Amino acid sequence: MTAQRPQPRPGVLDIEAYVPGKSTAPGVAKVYKLSANETPLGASPKAVEAYRNVAAHLHDYPEGSSRAMREAIGRAYGLDPARIICGAGSDDLLNLLARAYLADGDEAIYTKHGFSVYPIVTLGCGAKPVAAAEKNFTADTDEILKLVTPKTRMVFIANPNNPTGTYMPFDEVKRLHRELPKHVLLVIDAAYAEYVRRNDYESGIELVATNENVVMTRTFSKIYGLAALRLGWMYGPEHIVAAINRIRGPFNVTSPAVAAGIAALEDTAHTEKARAHNETWLAWLTEEVGKLGITVTPSAANFVLIHFPDTPGKTAKDADAFLTSRGILLRALGSYHLPNALRMTVGSEEANRIAVKALAEFMGKK
């Protein structure tokens, strides 16, 4: 029978729409938003100035290939700009990759607590998201490989992962890649790469440089503080860049985003300050929250995953309500199969201290 109104393609209505972190606390004068992994340092003042300078040109279309941005990224990382593609946030690129490489009935593997955009973009293309088990809240090569079938077309890993903060050492990423069939596309989402200080970590550049079936996505939303502008980039083999260029919006990145993005990338002192701030306060938060008798998963990114007990009155849900009533906004993780945990972004010194004090009170430690 013909439907009486337009129907979305199969898969679309199976999507659980993305749940963003809270940004308001009704009735509270001062809000500390630690729910979206934004930088407490804000964007580089040079990026803000570059953004303002574009105001006189708002009537002009952007340069469609984001050439100046790609060249700046190329200079900063020693990469060929022809193998870079920019997007309206890395979300845009993840979507485009799924659209280009997944069809009805295909499978894409992600991990159980992996970034929730992966199942969303997979279902949106009529394909099936397949979740691999994790070990200690960390993506596991063998668990992913176990799920590879003749229908597998893509594997998504966030490295480090949001919301767990854990990462796969580069040797493991290389092993995963080595064992995957050559026609399977490995997507390494390195949204938090700039924060990682580990000797055994690599964002994926080397793998992309030397293989035909790996891409790496990056973002300006995190350490560069440009989340509002929506700017991300992907480094990939030429044939994948050529495919994505065919389907992306012709002006998918705005001129204010490019102007601010170039200035942010070139202000290495500001980025270094953000990295140093994170290093200090990530360690502090991990230790101080740990002292309260709640477990913190060790993180390589700019946030921590905090696990609460099952005890009535002390659950993650209770903690979320208590903290919100004081204007401290953390990220609830029911949509990530982590109902007993909250994710907290490393904030300003003031926000971090206030949050830990409130958590201590909540746990009855002060």
List residues near ligand PLP by CB under 6 A.
37, 89-91, 115, 158, 162, 189, 191, 219, 221, 227, 232
Tell me the residue nearest to ligand PLP as measured from the CB: 89
- Whether the link from the prior residue into 169 is cis, omega within 30° of 0, is no
Tell me whether residue 72 or residue 356 sits nearer to ligand PLP (CB atom).
72
Tell me whether residue 28 or residue 227 sits nearer to ligand PLP (CB atom).
227
Question: By C-alpha distance, which of 265, 232, 215 is closest to 44?
Answer: 265
Give me the least distance between CB of 189 and ligand PLP, in Å please.
5
Give me the least distance between CB of 219 and ligand PLP, in Å please.
3
Tell me whether residue 31 or residue 227 sits nearer to ligand PLP (CB atom).
227
Tell me whether residue 51 or residue 115 sits nearer to ligand PLP (CB atom).
115
Beta-carbon neighbour count of residue 142 at 10 Å?
A: 13
Give me the least distance between CB of 115 and ligand PLP, in Å please.
4
Give me the least distance between CB of 152 and ligand PLP, in Å please.
21
Amino acid (1-letter code) at residue 202: E
Give me the least distance between CB of 145 and ligand PLP, in Å please.
21
Tell me whether residue 187 or residue 316 sits nearer to ligand PLP (CB atom).
187
Give me the least distance between CB of 36 and ligand PLP, in Å please.
7
Tell me whether residue 62 or residue 232 sits nearer to ligand PLP (CB atom).
232
Question: By C-alpha distance, which of 298, 306, 300 is closest to 35?
Answer: 306
Give me the least distance between CB of 158 and ligand PLP, in Å please.
4
Tell me whether residue 91 or residue 288 sits nearer to ligand PLP (CB atom).
91
Give me the least distance between CB of 88 and ligand PLP, in Å please.
8
Tell me whether residue 111 or residue 286 sits nearer to ligand PLP (CB atom).
111
